[in-house]
DNA sequence: CCTATACTTAACTTATTCGTTAATTAACTA
DNA sequence: TAGTTAATTAACGAATAAGTTAAGTATAGG
């Protein structure tokens, strides 16, 4: 729906059309209500129609917010990568050792 | 919990300890069950204890999966950025024009 | 054998998400 | 004015997430 709106203002039923067989109109109304509350879109009046458009300010806020987390996510990716590299390396080493070595006891649990 | 496990195998109660006042032990059991089902950890038996460890294969799969979506997310970020640039530009232009111009009618809705 | 410890299972609660159908409001139009 | 179209509201429901308490199982160890 946001993608649709990025091409220009349009009405509730226009936005609903692509989802005709997936959800009802009231469902769309509700969906739009959360987008509106979230400040991502605005609705206005034109006779029976409620033309919707993207809200630049809200989108900017959202983008800024995501931008913050983007780093966090990427760091997480990198940490996972690091972790996997060490694990995979450890496993390769494991395989070159004798396959039936002593089982390592875990640390004492008292 | 995954972070904890990345430092080495440990038991259910060890994993639960940092969350003592946030959730009960059964809650932890359940949480671990979903991590196990998701293939991110494995559990074994040692007397009453159930030592858990990270599952490298599962984590690798998860990382690969995320890697795929990473691009999608970043593209989305970029598209948002692009969109915002054009919108902000458009708004600046708007402000330099006479503030009380003709209201543009929306496209006919028949 | 008895009991404490580690953990699990069962049964239930509570809140939220995401939808539904039916009725309602508002405005256009023949 | 009567009917149609656009959208919303009301009332409800199913599914899921994420916990809770209380009871049960398995094992170690005095």
Q: Do B7 and B50 sit in the same domain of this protein?
A: yes
Residue B74 to residue B72: CA distance in whole angstroms? 5
Say which range, A22-26, A56-60, B16-20, B65-69, has the weakest mean pLDDT: B65-69
Q: Nearest nucleotide to B27 by CA–C1' distance?
A: D19
Structure confidence at residue B76 (pLDDT): 76
Q: Is residue A109 part of a domain?
A: no
Q: Do B45 and B88 sit in the same domain of this protein?
A: no
Q: Do A50 and A10 sit in the same domain of this protein?
A: yes
Q: Any idea what the CATH number is for the domain that residue B25 is in?
A: 1.10.10.10
Q: How far is CA A94 from CA A87, A89, A91, in A?
A: 10, 9, 5
Q: Is residue A50 part of a domain?
A: yes
Helices A56-96 and B56-96, axial angle in degrees (round to 10): 160
State the maximum Cα–Cα separation within chain A, in Å, rounded to a whole number: 81
Is A80's CB within 8 Å of B73's CB?
no
Q: Do B42 and B10 sit in the same domain of this protein?
A: yes
In 3D space, the residue among A36, A65, A37 whose CA is nearest the CA of residue A51 turns out to be: A36
Distance of CA B3 to the CA centre of its chain: 15
Q: What are the percentages of helix, strand and coil residues in chain B, rounded to 5?
A: 60, 10, 30
Q: Which residues of B touch A66 (CB under 8 A)?
A: 77, 80
**Best to test chain A binding among B3, B86, B93, B106 (most A CBs inside 10 Å):** B106
Residue B55 burial (CB count, 10 A): 19
H-helix segments, chain A: 2-6, 12-16, 25-37, 56-96
Average pLDDT over residues B20-30: 95
Q: Which residues of B touch A49 (CB under 8 A)?
A: 109
Q: Which residues pair with B10 in a beta bridge?
A: B52
pLDDT in tens, A41-90: 999 999 999 999 999 888 888 888 877 777 777 777 777 778 777 777 77
Q: Do A9 and A35 sit in the same domain of this protein?
A: yes
What is the domain range of residue A70? 56-94
Q: What is the mean pLDDT of chain A?
A: 82
Structure confidence at residue B43 (pLDDT): 96
Calculate what percentage of chain A has a pLDDT beyond 90.
45
Structure confidence at residue A109 (pLDDT): 53
pLDDT in tens, B84-106: 777 777 777 776 654 433 333 33
In 3D space, the residue among A103, A49, A63, A74 whose CA is nearest the CA of residue B77 turns out to be: A63
Q: Is residue B110 part of a domain?
A: no
Average pLDDT over residues A90-106: 53
């Amino acid at each position: 729906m946001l993608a649709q709106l990025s091409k220009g203002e349009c009405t509730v039923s226009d936005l609903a059309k692509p989802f005709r067989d997936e959800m009802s109109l009231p469902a769309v109304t509700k969906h739009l209500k959360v987008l509106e509350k979230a400040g991502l879109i605005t609705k206005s009046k034109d006779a029976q129609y409620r033309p919707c458009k993207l809200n630049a300010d809200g989108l900017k806020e959202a983008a800024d917010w995501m931008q913050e987390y983007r780093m966090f996510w990427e760091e997480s990716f990198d940490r996972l990568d690091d972790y996997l590299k060490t694990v995979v390396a450890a496993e390769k080493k494991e395989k070159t050792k004798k396959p039936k070595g002593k089982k390592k006891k875990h640390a004492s649990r008292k």
